[in-house]
Amino acid sequence: MLIFQLILINIAFLVSFALLLPSFPWLFGLNALLLLALAIMRYRYYHRQNNQVLQALLHGLRNLQDGDFSISLAIPKENKANKANEIQAEVLTLFNQVTDKLRQEKQSIYQRELLLDKVVNASDVVTVLVNHRDTIIFANRAAEYFFRQNSLLGLSWASLLADKLPELISHHDKDNAIIQLLLNDVNVNDDQVKAKTKTEQSWHLSRHHLKLHGSRHQLTLLKPLTQAMHQQELQTWKKVIRVINHELNNSIAPISSMCHSGNILAERLNEPQLIRVFATISKRINKLAEFIQSYSQLARLSRPQKQTFDLIKTLKQLQELYQFSLSCQDTSLLFSGDESQIEQLLINLLKNAEQACPDKDSAVSVSRQQGKLVITVRDFGSGMPVEVLTKAFLPYYSTKADGSGIGLSICREISDGHQGQITLNNHPQGGLQVDVHFPIS
């Protein structure tokens, strides 16, 4: 467009030269000055316009270099109206389209990174990324909880293992294996007991070697397997109990009937010795039936059918059966769970507390702590020995002469079914304290 205008100015100059110069030289000079001024003005206009476009592009590219994709270049109206400058308008439009696409890609990547960060931090898999200098550059919340550190970033991986988990150093040559680690029992809440005792837990160790930004990195993953193995073991126990329960009940029923008939016959014959024999057999059969009944409770425990109910009302109803003091700031507390299972859990804990100290009422408190509902049941007995605390949740383990060893196992099963956690600890002022943590929906 500029060249075409300059050509027109030259033509006008030649025409004025041919027509005005011989007769009117002063008019030719004035016309030549005007044409020269017009040519300079058009040149400066196009030069300034091109500079503005280039400056806008330069400013936009610098913003992109700094990672700012929010820039958008304005297209001058002259560029839209003038066909000769359609290329400039197309360049500016294309730049805006590219920045829009880059901005969308950046937002999409940010959302994916945010989602990935939430998923990794919500996972119970211990995740640690170490660079080529053996320095931790990423660790999720599960890793911070596992190593009891508020932040692991910048720490030496080797020093951390030597200080917190020396058992893992012996597995440095394994990239994919199931290992056993001696760790504190999560079901025990007493720090003194934790310091003295450790339990063997199963973990899946996985190591991955990768390159990031041209440097060698190592990703270490530790997945807990103890809980899953416990659930699998519990399901196996349930199946065995069902089979034994079925077979024994099939045998006990006819034996009990025959024993009852034999006892009636012995009374008719007036045989005291035979009556004692049948009475002893009946007594032992009843004991065996009670034994089977208590053990079948664990096998009959189903998945919780959650409904909203008033937990305080349930506890007050239990006060009619067991003597305990209730402490709670709320007069009514709605909780989403299986009411019958929660009631069974409370009955088992209150029954244990009453047996531990029958002369003094136990204490129950309900509170909210860090987004969780905490139910605490405390007795005022002698507490539990350290070796018993670490085995209290094992199925069929009991120190009582007439205990079945499934009360606390049922409590843990109910707690796990409600995505909760149950812990034991000896109270500093005496007695055993059981804390049950439930997530608040």
In this prediction the pTM is 0.52
* pLDDT value of position 371: 79
Across 9-23, average pLDDT: 65
341, 438 contact by CB (below 8 A): no
Tell me whether residue 122 is exposed, middle or buried, using C-beta atoms within 10 angstroms of its C-beta: 0 to 12, 13 to 18, 19 or more.
exposed
pLDDT in the model for residue 400: 63
The pLDDT tens digits of the residues spanning 406-432 come to: 778 788 888 888 888 888 888 888 889
Q: pLDDT (tens digit, 9 = 90+) per residue, 252-267?
A: 878 888 888 888 888 8
Q: What is the pLDDT of residue 15?
A: 65
Cβ of 306: how many Cβ atoms within 10 Å?
Answer: 15
Dihedral pair phi/psi, residue 437, rounded to 5°: -105, 125
d(CA 30, CA 9): 14
Instruction: State the pLDDT at residue 261.
Output: 84
- Give 19's pLDDT tier (boundaries 50, 70, 90): low
CB-count exposure of residue 320 (10 Å: 0-12, 13-18, 19+): exposed
CA distance 160 to 147: 8
Q: Is the model's pLDDT at 156 over the cut of 50?
A: yes
Rounded Cα distance between 315 and 335, Å, is 12
Residue 198, pLDDT > 70, answer no
pLDDT digits (tens, 9 = 90+) for 337-373: 999 889 989 998 999 899 888 888 899 999 988 778 9
Give the Å distances, CA to CA, from 406 to 38, 211, 299, 387. Answer: 103, 51, 11, 18
Q: Is the pLDDT of residue 127 over 90?
A: yes
pLDDT value for 309: 92
Q: What is the mean pLDDT of residues 133-153?
A: 91
Q: pLDDT grade, residue 81 (50/70/90)?
A: very low
Only one residue has tokens 């006990």, namely 252
Is residue 124 predicted with pLDDT exceeding 70? yes
User: Residue 30 half-sphere exposure, CB side, CA atoms within 13 Å?
Assistant: 5
Q: Does residue 180 or residue 40 have the better pLDDT? A: 180
What pLDDT score was predicted for residue 346? 93
Q: Is 435 in contact with 365 (CB distance < 8 Å)?
A: no
List the Cα angle 66/71/75 in 5-degree steps. 140
Separation between Cα atoms, residue 118 and residue 115, nearest integer Å = 5
Mean pLDDT, rounded, for 235-257:
76
Nearest to 198 by CA among 209, 212, 184: 184
Q: Is the pLDDT of residue 74 over 80?
A: no
The arrangement of strands across the sheet holding 372-378 comes to 324-328, 362-369, 372-378, 432-439, 421-426
> Which residues lie closer than 8 Å to 328 by C-beta, 6 or more apart?
312, 315, 365, 366, 367
Strands 215-224 and 126-130: antiparallel
- What's the rounded Cα separation, in Å, for the pair 436 and 441? 16
392 HSE (CA, 13 A, CB side): 26
How many angstroms separate the CA atoms of 111 and 122, rounded? 16
Structure tokens at 169: 């150093």
Cα torsion 430, 342, 335, 189: sign: positive
Q: What is the pLDDT of residues 289-339, one digit of tens each?
A: 777 776 666 566 678 888 999 999 999 999 988 989 999 888 888 999 999
- The Cα 17–Cα 314 span in angstroms is 112
